[in-house]
Amino acid sequence: MSNRVSQILEITEPWQWKHVRTNENPADIASRGVKPAKLLRNTFWWNGPEWLTQDAEQWSISALPDEEETLPEIKPVQLALISIDSSKNLLQYYSSWKKLVRAIALLNRFVEFRRTKGNGTNVTKYLVLSELRSAEKILIKRAQAGEFSLELLAMRKQRETPKCNKLKGLCPSLRTDGLIVVGGRLEKADLGEKQIHPIVLPAKHKIIRLIFEDYHQTLLHCGPQMLLAEVRRCYWPLRGRIMARSTVTRCINCVRARPRFENPLMDPLPKQRVQMSRPFTVTGVDFAGPLQIQSGIRRVTTKKAWIAVFVCFSTRAIHLEPVVGLTSEAFLAALRSYVGLW
């Protein structure tokens, strides 16, 4: 009630209103509770205050007070400041990694322009590569801050990460720009900095799916293994195999273009394969190799050799013969050696 009175006084003048005291207001009887038996015998409830029967000049009323101090029921107004992370709401409006990065880059340019008030800034009509890279870092840094808050706090204080930790097996380290990267033993490898220390991506954040979908489309809808291999050239996603398979299976273009293979009808097997006969009555031959062989101990050069595989059609037994070359003479020599056994 007191708040309503204060709101009324803000838009009107106190002399425009008349005030009836609480003990002379019959409406307070019902608001404060009364039994029906007492209400029947209450003349104040049925007739109202006595001064209402008199002339208006003799009414016992007063003007509303014009100072807030005279209204003890007025409660002080307390303001609360709520900070909202707008980047989380921004993620739900974009389904493309490139578009999201460009939107963050434009917002970052606007904030920088307002901060410097346009002094000394050469604003171009298009986004440059440095602005896009800065926007990517902002998005990844926010994702890491949301998922790895305890790990970031421990790294900044140069403490050891907890044992039951998602990043414990990656030997994580904090880069100068505030990003968590994978450690390792590839410091002296002839690779780029991104491949030596890839950026860690959280498993359950939306940006990891956007990054995988962007790589999948850039690589012309490649398979899960190639997709994961390309993503790991710059990033190290947690549960990356699951995300790679999920990205490929959820791709509408891949599902529509996936061919359906039908097994061709095979001809009946030849009678030599299904009829009983003595071993090696009907025989097939094939070659395996080449192999490098040598004989002797010192200063002996290696030579190529092959293996003739004789296969029995009825029992599937095999017989191996060495062959010194792919010439007819070498094969006939191996055939004579094979026939001589029978």
Q: How far is it, in rounded angstroms, from Cα 231 to Cα 225?
A: 10
Predicted pLDDT at 69? 45
Q: How does pLDDT run across 53-73, given as a tens digit for each residue? A: 777 777 766 655 544 445 455
Higher pLDDT: 193 or 87? It is 193
Q: How far is it, in rounded angstroms, from Cα 141 to Cα 237?
A: 14
Q: Which residue ranges form the domains of the chain, and what is each CATH number?
A: 2-70 (no CATH), 86-257 (1.10.340.70), 280-291+302-342 (no CATH)
Report the SS3 class of residue 45. Answer: helix
Cα–Cα distances (Å) from 154 to 160, 180, 184, 239, in that order, read 6, 12, 19, 23
Cα–Cα distances (Å) from 92 to 88, 170, 206, 244, 334, in that order, read 7, 30, 9, 21, 73
Q: How does pLDDT run across 87-130, given as a tens digit for each residue? A: 557 788 888 999 999 999 998 888 888 888 767 666 778 888 98
Q: How does pLDDT run across 126-176, given as a tens digit for each residue? A: 888 989 999 999 999 988 888 888 888 888 887 776 666 777 778 888 888
Q: Where is average pLDDT lowest: 151-160, 213-222, 239-248?
A: 151-160
Once rounded to an integer, what is the mean pLDDT over residues 305-310? 89
Contact 280, 312 (CB under 8 A): yes
With 0-12 CB in 10 A as exposed, 13-18 as middle and 19+ as buried, what is 247? buried
The Cα angle at residue 40 between residues 39 and 44, in degrees rounded to 5: 65
Mean pLDDT estimate for the chain: 81
